[in-house]
Structure 1
Amino acid sequence: MTYQTLNVDLAERSYPIFIGPDLLNKSELFTPYISGKKVLIVTNQTVAPLYLERLKSSLSSFELDEIILPDGEQYKTLDTVNLIFTHLLEKKHSRKTTLIALGGGVIGDMTGFAAASFQRGVDFIQIPTTVLSQVDSSVGGKTGVNHKLGKNMIGAFKQPKAVFADTNTLKTLPNRELSAGIAEVVKYGLITDYLFFEWLEKNILELYSLDERAVQYAIKQSCLVKADIVNQDEMESGVRALLNLGHTFGHAIETSLGYGKYLHGEAVAIGTVMASYLSVLEGNISFEDHLRIINLFEKVNLPVDSPVEMQVDDFVEKMSIDKKVVDGKLRLILFSKMSQAIISDTFDHEKLMKTLATKNFRNLD
């Protein structure tokens, strides 16, 4: 299959998303989005041996520099971003430098944050190499790092010049990473697109086996949903918060148990099930639809039970410093009906406590 394109329409900050196999070898696609002669490729120890030389070959007409960072969510910190700044300064990069993020969501978030900050802003390009980053974190311009007290609490909005989702890079993903990325794909079927959710129910095993047509369709549909929401609300002052379905619960899990114990997508899967369960208790969706969500996650080996190590107080503490807390009031992304997410601060507190105390969400006891 050839590649597909779609556009994130943000006036002068608009940019294309290219989706398809073998994009890393298509040097003609990259050239229009690199502003100067110097390029810094930011990647990690896992991705570099697989794809760095191929990308450098495609960019051989530019002055190339590279930095290889440690791999893992636990390294998504200000200390690691400072390594990028130090490298840029030592190598005498300027405001005309273009940064390229070659890797998953952690690399993309840190590279984007560095690009937003270095000399008050330089261009950057996203080359996401995981399902999660191809369908979610590479699109929309949210960049940043974690703090020990909260996930993604330090960052900036910085839109890339272009996104290149080379589907061939997914073939080297471990199964666990692949499953974690599919959790974010399911999210898009649950926010606004019931037909996409139904498609996933029928085709998720094809997606999991990396059938090229299924992969391209899932990435494109996910990006279309996200692009539409970002177009409406670039700075997350309203409807963009819907993209955080499952994330308030999920971020609490990641922060409480230490970044890396659960992959981000695994925590989001659990968090989505928790949001679904609370929506059942609120009377907004049926228990049968809730079980459909659980079954879809389980088909790709995602966790759906709340961690036994976490108590209600652990959730409450971490959720209280979530970015969606406004004037001390927690807002959650729930369902008004199946595949229609809403931002709610009127949920019943006792039902939330019951959700936080529940470990197995297959029963309504």
Structure 2
Amino acid sequence: MPPGGEELATWFYEGILGVPRVPKPPHLAVRGGCWFERGSLRIHLGVQDDFVPATKAHPAFTVLDLDRLEATITTNGLAVRRVDDPLEPDVLYVDDPFGNRIELRPTRGTEDKADYAEVVEDVARTAVGDRLADELAFVHELDRLKTVLRQSFVGEASRRENTAEHSWHVAVMAAVLSEHLEADVDLARVVLLLLVHDIVEIDAGDTGIYDDTSNGSKEEREEAAADRLYGLLPDDVGARLRDAWEEYEHGTTPEARAARVFDRLAPVLLNLSAGGIAWRRWGVSADRVREVVAPIGAGAPELGRFVDAALERAVADGLLPAGSSGLILP
């Protein structure tokens, strides 16, 4: 894309195509451009001074609801071209704001799956009632949490973990490590808080804890997500889960503080196992990491001592700079 096109790119790729913009690592962000990611889909736009749009070679994206996306595109004043091929009548082409050709085609087999989610709800509504149908609609929506990529990498550093994996991981960690908590807590409540605390990322996406820019809009995005997602449920169930989410966010109860212990501990363990890859991508120092993990020591002194010793070892082994060196590896 040409220089200065980041806002136009965000309007098109995030606002129209629905692929959230994610922060670039600091050492790449200085070059301009922007990244958009959803699940395994990654669109990385770089800046080129002598930019020429790609009108022949192009990416092709599969779309669950092609008709709906076509309507969104045309509503925003963009022209859509259908391929003149009787064998592929549903393939569309559209140009991004910079003239790059984009191909859009239906995801094979997923239309029926999407329709069948509605069938499941209809069967539940007829056989049991509206309450079960609404609960199953929410359960179906939860599956999307598996496509939300977090900033942390899995232990073998082969890929980024998704939010569903993270929620499960920290909940099990609480069950295993709760003996190290300083306060007596309701463990079942702690586990519930950990299971629901990131459901809003289905809509809001994951905001990296070191991403100062995106954290500015995090609260607003997550409040809107909570309104929609918990609003899918029957009123009493939705209120119960939203109360749990808000309890975690406010962090004022012993259970919320305990949940934060494990939520902050999990990325440390993954970074240590993955050679500090996420720390290096964000260019953070041991001092910054210690600020972020302070809730661990506050809620579980033994775990806090472990983390402090582990960070010292990470610095000694070159996984993490001790101070604000700005050293970032690609």
TM-score with structure 2 setting the length: 0.27
Larger proportion of strand: 1
TM-score with structure 1 setting the length: 0.25
